[in-house]
Chains A and B, each alone.
Chain A
């Protein structure tokens, strides 16, 4: 009588899925991830939710609906805070309620609070509460929890070794990602929410496109936490939004790296945190750096053609500029 828990391929899935899956595995609970984003999934989400929601939240609703009828539970932790004295975007907090209020006949949601804001709060408490739904054996929950933490660390270390989340070929040996043999003469840093940049439909396959144009792509997630936190401290005031810190810190870091030729900031239309991140990054770029920066905003109406034009022009610009620098270098 094994049960299946559905996990939407959206929002923080890109960071925490390995952890969640391992946890449920150890409790003997099956997991099912919603299918990759398609236009159909996005449209379902858009139709079922209020207009004010940002695109990623609408998409997440689409992914919840994709699990409809195929699972016994849906895992939608109410993520309030993932680090002490920091918050995650308030939309995450309201997400489970939004789903519950807008969609009828859903399977039960597992939506306990994940809140590490306060001193003394612990991630274990969250997993313990979740685990209690499926077993009464605390030892089993503890083992599952420990294994899940191990998976999370593995996932982070894979990314730090240069892999993209769930990239085929990832081997968990934490050596630097081997070179794929193609010629990548430039390196581009993409700064944006994981659910925007790693979702192939939403990002219109931006990463793959850039790779095809001959770019190495790096993201905020390739950096260990202490690096982007240290970089974000360059700001006069600490940002209390975790994801903004990560993105701003990573942008600052990559602006300083000689091997990075340009940065792309990807924002969701109507996302408050993103417009602030974008502003901070842009100011920094103007004051402290000569590196090209491209701001891309994604919404439901973003045309693929416009995006391709911008990416191509950006790559031309990066190469053209570098050529100039090379020429300058031989003269001085």
Chain B
């Protein structure tokens, strides 16, 4: 059997999927990145290999997410793609005709508008914590609630409490206030979901025309309270696809199929999981930009560099590689 591997390395989670030749998911893995992207990619590869039936041959690899270059270098990816494109590709394959994608992950959130099957517009929030999953995580732990239970509890609410959601700091103090006033937990949780949805629609979704079908994906889509809050705010149903939390990786795998069309893969094999990779870095003192240059080392050898604004370090490497 042949398969395509998709890897999505974000700051919160690292996801891997393996699809069959027809693009259906055979196996998916969701890990917490915990600030150790290299280890997590390796661990993910190990788990993937263990989970697969013996005869699977990877014939294409795609990487995405903020750590896409890193994952691409380690695995020898055939395609390295930004997360907007991969999410859009995956959603439009899973829900044909999708016109709006709401995506909320741990550290960022985005909206993607598709028309006639192609991306027509998008927006991303990477700065404001009030629009992301980590905000819900924080508030849940403040209320001593497991994030897994968050959604079902929120669904028990009959009258969500109105919570100011403009900014994470305000939301937090407002929530404490409401708690002290004696509101019950489900109503507060449902209120938090509504605050987050309002915040998302006002910031990320500002000025965008949200047409059906709407797909809701990313880690936060696991939260039934969030789905319900979106449906209330938009006034129409919102689909959460079965693999909502690995859609980026799925899109990357789908792109890998396209990229390896009549070409052999650059995949370096599952045993890269056992090789020694390290991320290093230094501040260049070549000019007052003082770039923070990132280096990826394999067994002590630099195999990739980025972060230099002038190309002084990354280009030097290309030349060495060409010589050797």
Contacts and interface: CB of A to CB of B under 8 A. Distances in A.
A305 B83 CA distance: 12
Nearest to A291: B120
Given A309-B82, A313-B85, A201 B289 contact: yes
Given A39-B288, A312-B85, A324 B207 contact: no
A55 interface: no
Contacts of B34: none
B10 to A, nearest CB: 11
Contacts of A40: 288-290
Interface string B107-122: 0000000001111111
Contacts of A168: none
A205 B121 CA distance: 23
B287 interface: yes
Contacts of A320: 118-119
Given A313-B84, A313-B85, A324-B117, A38 B126 contact: no
Chain B interface size band reads: 20 to 34
Interface in B181-219: 207, 209
A85 interface: no
B287 A38 contact: yes
B138 interface: no
Interface in A253-307: 282, 286, 292-293, 295, 301, 303, 305-306
A38 B127 CA distance: 23
Contact of A317 (B116, B117, B122, B123): B122
Given A313-B119, A324-B116, A305 B288 contact: no
Interface of B: 66, 81-85, 116-124, 126-127, 207, 209, 287-290, 309
Closest 7 CB pairs of A and B: A40-B288, A313-B84, A38-B288, A317-B119, A312-B82, A316-B85, A309-B82
23 contacts: A39-B289, A40-B289, A201-B309, A282-B207, A293-B121, A295-B123, A306-B126, A308-B82, A309-B66, A309-B124, A312-B81, A312-B85, A313-B119, A313-B122, A316-B81, A316-B84, A316-B85, A316-B119, A317-B120, A320-B118, A321-B119, A321-B120, A324-B116
